[in-house]
Amino acid sequence: MKIESIIEPNIEIQNLQEKLLSELASLLPNSHIELVGAMAVPMIGRPEIDIMIISENIENDSFKLVEEGYVQGPVEKGISYLKRMRDNIEIGIQIMSPDNNMIDIHRNIILKLRENESLKNKYEEFKKTLSGLSRDEYKKQKSAWIKENLI
């Protein structure tokens, strides 16, 4: 069972994010690539970088990423999920079409957390309580907090 840990944003993650954005932009020149998730704010969170790719060709972009070493996960509600590890950081990618409602949800959450320091601090304090939980329990509690406070 995977136990979650919480980390602070740091220069290594920032450098890796920039490198990933550049690599993905070169690999998928017809798609739009954005950082989402905690490290995009930036704020404390799991040791992961979340990337949203807005694509007119989800299947083809997913295939290109698999060729680059990403592991294809589920395709649910029009979103293709892929993952890989890099420098002990989990890279999570979501590829979706331009009309997917998750685009605005991701953008609005990040905007709220960037603009409201008090809300960001409250969320960070909550996330600290999740360290040591199983991945499933972490996701369950985090999702409930997001629905109650951010959506």
Question: Each residue of 51-95: pLDDT tens digit?
Answer: 999 999 999 999 999 999 999 999 999 999 999 999 889 999 999
Reply yes or no on whether the pLDDT at 4 is more than 90: no
Crossing angle of helices 102-115/117-128, nearest 10°?
A: 100
Residue of 93, 92, 109 lying closest to 101 (CA atoms): 109
Domain-embedded: residue 145: yes
Range of the domain at 93: 11-149
Looking only at the bridges linking them, the beta strands covering 32-36 and 48-54 are antiparallel
Q: Name the strands in the sheet holding 79-86, side by side, starting at the edge strand that comes first in the sequence.
A: 32-36, 48-54, 89-96, 79-86, 71-76
Domain-embedded: residue 54: yes
Domain-embedded: residue 4: no
CA atoms within 13 A on the CB side of 6: 18
Residues 6+ apart with CB under 8 A from 121: none
Two tokens, residue 121: 């601090």
Specify the CATH number for the domain of residue 108.
3.30.460.10
Domain-embedded: residue 93: yes
Domain-embedded: residue 1: no
pLDDT digits (tens, 9 = 90+) for 96-108: 999 999 999 999 9
Domain-embedded: residue 71: yes
Domain-embedded: residue 17: yes
Distance separating alpha carbons of residues 7 and 88, to the nearest angstrom: 12
Looking only at the bridges linking them, the beta strands covering 48-54 and 89-96 are parallel
Number of domains in the chain: 1
pTM (predicted TM-score)? 0.91
Domain-embedded: residue 6: no
